[in-house]
Chain A
Amino acid sequence: MSSLSASEPRIRVEDVSVTYRTSLEAAPTFKSTVLRLGRRERVVREVEALKGVSFEVPEGQVLGVVGANGAGKSTLMRTVAGILPPNSGRVEVHGRVSTLLALGVGFNRKMTGRQNVVLGGLAAGLTRDQLAAKYEEIVAFAELEDFMDMPMRTYSSGMYGRLAFAVAVTMEPEILLIDEALSVGDARFRKKSFRKMRELCGENRTILLVSHALGSIKELCDQAIWIHKGELRMWDDPEAVVDAYTEFLEVGEDAFTMEDV
């Protein structure tokens, strides 16, 4: 920490491109590979999820990310989290990262909520003691006291999201990546998570926030970027980015009356 000078950004993304090939087959199998031998018909589509994106996030800044579905926002988050390696460019992150990508916990629906939280936390590198200390807080925030010992397949999607949100915000990461998490749960939980977000944003934490709720981007973020078809379209203060984005969407001011938070 001491080696980190004040001017150095917490997250630095330099000219990052991510390309992946998706196969149109349902699932790659040995059988299909053998059947395809000799015939050169491989149905793959190359997806350029990110094309030369560069930006920086200094310490304590909340950076909003807006963009249409499929623009590459989630890919960007995964690249910053170190889950997807970039094909070119460079990502540098200083600090312990917690990711709250769309429905982060709940990787095994057969396991109970408790098992998912514990296993997810251990995989993320937390110790048992750290988890035990935070566990009650997570459950209380998610308001799932009665459901933690039930398999997650019995959860509703709102309960899923609440648990994921609770885990991510409770772990007190230095850097928080949040992917559309403000829109989980019912109106009451959304208000609560918005309050929690505002609290976190006020704590001089570095946060990357992906959201379709443009009002919250405006209210919570210090800066915002707009990603369009894998390219960085704009990097400015949130007002300007949101205005440009809304104009682009051609929905005008309706977006604000329709949105939830």
Chain B
Amino acid sequence: MPPREENEFTSERHVYEPHKIGLPPLRPYVRELWRRREFAREMARTNLRAQHFNTAFGQVWLVLNPLLLACVYFLLVYILRGAGSRGTDFFAHLLAGLFAYYFISDSIRLSVKSVTGGGRLILNTAFPRALLPLAGVITAFMRFLPTLVIYIPVHIIAGLPVDQHLLWLIPLIFLMFVMAAGAGMLVSALQVYFRDVKNFLPYFLRVWLYSSPVLYYADEVPEGLHWILYVNPLGGLLTAWSDVLIFGANPEPWAIGMATAWAFGIFIAGGLFFVSREREFAVRL
């Protein structure tokens, strides 16, 4: 029998036939992707180093930025909705929601140019291209983790419950990662065909934030507008996020259901789109 690592990218026998568009065999693709996961990790580390993540002030800034934003939004909501209606638990909700939202939007912003910016590497090396957007998602994840630490004191000061419901955070963060990876692959592949995708992104991301239950609680959404929470991929996910973190309860079934469906839906759609197109990237750059 041939050795296990027999596959398209490294080993002994490679056959290249016409297959401009269409899926490569997925099993060896994924195996090869996994074998080169070090690349994505190293790329993320290099990205972070470029953002001065390794210096004390660089780290402080990364955390300070969403923290200050949370203060700005808190002030905004405080003024718009009037004093008294909002307490420290709302601030905790706002902060947790912003951190989660920034993980997703950072993933997208960091991966959108990963393919078009990887020109030489793509032109000269055969490797699973999905590593490039995934490196962006891992970078965003590494930036997301310290913000979770910042959230802890806010959670405690706000007197929010610490109980077994917090275990839900693990599957929820996993779903965020899956969704971020799918969205990253989708936008980075789109960027190859439409180079102005990155110019539209800021507006799209802004609308996405406002339509997500971050600046308000999910149950404050008027009855007639509830569909927004279903249509928005983050609607269910962030509702569940607050259910668990702020209300110390199990997430509502619809929320966790929508979150799972959207996360895997985006992952499969983005992944298939990316992988079926990636052989064409070399001629599109």
Residue numbers of A with Cβ under 8 A of B are 1, 3-4, 20, 27-31, 33, 78-79, 81-97, 99, 101, 103-108, 110-111, 115, 118-120, 122-125, 127-128
Contact = CB atoms under 8 A, between A and B. Distances in A.
Contacts of B38: 122, 127-128
A107 to B, nearest CB: 4
Main secondary structure of the interface of A (DSSP, over half): loop
Contacts of B14: 82, 91-94, 97
A81 B110 CA distance: 28
Contacts of B19: 85
7 closest Cβ pairs, A-B complex: A107-B120, A107-B121, A122-B39, A30-B194, A82-B126, A29-B196, A91-B16
A27 B119 CA distance: 14
A110 B50 contact: yes
Contact of A90 (B9, B13, B17, B193): B17
Contact of B194 (A33, A94, A115): A33
B17 A86 contact: yes
B42 A119 contact: yes
Given A84-B282, A86-B18, A120 B195 contact: no
Contacts of B50: 110-111
B86 interface: no
Contact of B196 (A31, A83, A123): A31
18 contacts: A3-B12, A20-B283, A78-B124, A83-B123, A86-B18, A90-B15, A92-B14, A92-B16, A93-B16, A107-B118, A108-B117, A108-B120, A120-B121, A122-B39, A122-B42, A125-B35, A125-B36, A125-B127
A93 B13 contact: yes
Contacts of A128: 38
B2 A3 contact: yes
A30 B121 contact: no
Contact of A124 (B16, B17, B122, B127): B127
Interface residues of B, number: 45
A52 B206 CA distance: 51
Interface in B178-227: 193-197, 200
Contacts of B32: 125
Given A99-B125, A104-B120, A28 B195 contact: yes
A22 to B, nearest CB: 8
Given A83-B282, A122-B38, A125-B36, A94 B196 contact: no
Contacts of A110: 50
B52 interface: no
B124 A104 contact: yes
B283 A86 contact: no
B15 A104 contact: no
Contacts of B164: none
A123 B127 contact: yes
A41 B38 CA distance: 45
A119 B279 CA distance: 20
Contacts of B117: 108
A4 B12 contact: yes
B10 A87 contact: no
B255 interface: no
A10 to B, nearest CB: 10
Contact of B125 (A1, A29, A104, A118): A104
Given A85-B19, A91-B17, 9 more contacts: A30-B196, A81-B125, A81-B126, A82-B16, A83-B124, A83-B282, A86-B16, A108-B120, A115-B46
Contact of B15 (A83, A91, A125): A91
